[in-house]
Amino acid sequence: MSRINYDLEKIKAFAFDVDGVLSADSVPLHPSGEPMRVVNIKDGYALQLAVKLGYQVAIITGGKTEAVRKRFEGLGIQNVYMGVAVKIRTYEEWITACNLKDEEVMYMGDDIPDYEVMQKVGLPVCPADAAPEIKSCSLYISPYCGGMGCGRDIIEQILRAQGHWMKNEKAFGW
């Protein structure tokens, strides 16, 4: 039974910010000045499983590092939006292109640039270390911090609620 006060059966799509959500909120800098990120393998497993099961998945980030694009496209995510200054516009274009309704979307964000999208989606969620404004508009706050498995946490709960977690051969591989 989920602790989330939302009908998880409605969810058909997942959207995530990167920095502070799928990676920690501290970003080491390469000597070249390029930001480097550490990502969570369990988040990656859950993301690729959601893709294999037919869910729409999007990454909407202000970051511009090609390593980020390569990582998420490598998990099968086709909708990787980078360098996004105003996320609500990209979100609206994505749901229109995918023929989704707001109530069918879970979005996980952690800071002010995510706020407008979180006000619009059906299921706004955040990591444990999100900004207070983001926590206040979230229907669920993961017990995991950004980059520490919060993505896996929410995807797993939704897939379990819909009867898709560990239910067929797609679950047992990459």
- Helix 41-52 × helix 150-161 angle, to 10°: 30
Q: How confident is the model at residue 2 (pLDDT cuts 50, 70, 90)?
A: low
Q: Which of 161, 173, 139 is nearest to 12 (CA)?
A: 161
Delimit the domains of the chain by residue range. Answer: 8-168
| 33: its two tokens | 């000045």
Give pLDDT tens digits for 62-97. 998 899 999 999 999 999 999 999 999 999 999 999
The DSSP secondary-structure symbol of 35 reads: B
Task: Say yes or no to pLDDT of 25 above 90.
Answer: no
The DSSP secondary-structure symbol of 136 reads: H
Judged by DSSP in three states, 28 sits in coil
Distance (Å, whole) CA 139 – CA 143:
13
Distance (Å, whole) CA 122 – CA 119:
8
Distance (Å, whole) CA 104 – CA 130:
23
* CA atoms within a 13 Å half-sphere pointing along the CA-CB vector of 12: 9
Give pLDDT tens digits for 3-22. 799 999 999 999 999 999 99
CATH fold for the domain made of 8-168: Rossmann fold (3.40.50)
**Greater model confidence, 155 or 34:** 155
Mean pLDDT (the chain, rounded): 94
Written as one letter, the residue type at 38 is: V
Strands 79-81 and 105-108: unpaired
